[in-house]
C-alpha cells in the first residue's frame, strides 16, 4: 500500500480563503518535508518538519509523530499559491517517498 497518502487530491479556493492539506504516513515517521511544485514543474522545499509546528509567512506546517501525520495550513490564499503541494517521508540517507500531491487552484 501507499506509504504516504495526501488529502484532498484537489482543491479550489476563492482568493482569501484558507486551506488545510493533510498528509498521513503508514510507517513510522523519521522525518518529512513539504514541497511546492509550480505549474511549470519545478519543485521547491517549503518545510523540513520532523515534528512540531513551523511557520513561514502565510504557511504553517504541523507534524504529529505519534499520529503519523502532517498538515499544511495556507492562510489568506492568493492566486500565486496555485500549484501542487507534495509531502514526502524520509526513508534514510535523505531519500524521500512522495505522496501523490494536492492540486490547489486559487481563483480571483
Instruction: Please give the residue ranges that form the binding site for other proteins (CB under 8 A).
Output: 4, 33, 35, 40-45, 47-48, 86, 88, 93-101
Q: Which is nearer to other proteins, 3 or 17 (CB)?
A: 3
Residue-by-residue DSSP string for 70-107: EEEEE-S--GGG-EEEEEEEE-STT-EEE---EEEEEE
Q: Which is nearer to other proteins, 94 or 108 (CB)?
A: 94
Of residues 97, 108, 107, 105, the one with CA closest to residue 24: 97
- Least separation in angstroms between residue 35's CB and other proteins is 8
Q: Which is nearer to other proteins, 20 or 31 (CB)?
A: 31
- Least separation in angstroms between residue 101's CB and other proteins is 6
Do residues 105 and 82 lie in contact, with contact meaning Cβ atoms separated by under 8 Å?
yes
- Unique residue bearing C-alpha cell 513539504: 34
- Least separation in angstroms between residue 15's CB and other proteins is 25
Q: Which is nearer to other proteins, 42 or 80 (CB)?
A: 42
Do residues 11 and 82 lie in contact, with contact meaning Cβ atoms separated by under 8 Å?
no
- The residues pairing with 84 across neighbouring beta strands, listed in sequence order, are 37, 103
- Least separation in angstroms between residue 13's CB and other proteins is 20
Amino acid at each position: 500500500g501507499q506509504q504516504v497518502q495526501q488529502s484532498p487530491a484537489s482543491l479550489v479556493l476563492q482568493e482569501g480563503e484558507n486551506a488545510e492539506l493533510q498528509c498521513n504516513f503508514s510507517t513510522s515517521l523519521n522525518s518529512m518535508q513539504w514541497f511546492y511544485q509550480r505549474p511549470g514543474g519545478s519543485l521547491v522545499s517549503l518545510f523540513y518538519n520532523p515534528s512540531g509546528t513551523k511557520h513561514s509567512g502565510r504557511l504553517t506546517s504541523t507534524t504529529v509523530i505519534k499520529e503519523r501525520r502532517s498538515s499544511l495550513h495556507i492562510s489568506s490564499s492568493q492566486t500565486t499559491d496555485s500549484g501542487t503541494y507534495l509531502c514526502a517521508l524520509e526513508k534514510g540517507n535523505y531519500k524521500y517517498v512522495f505522496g501523490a500531491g494536492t492540486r490547489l487552484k486559487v481563483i480571483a
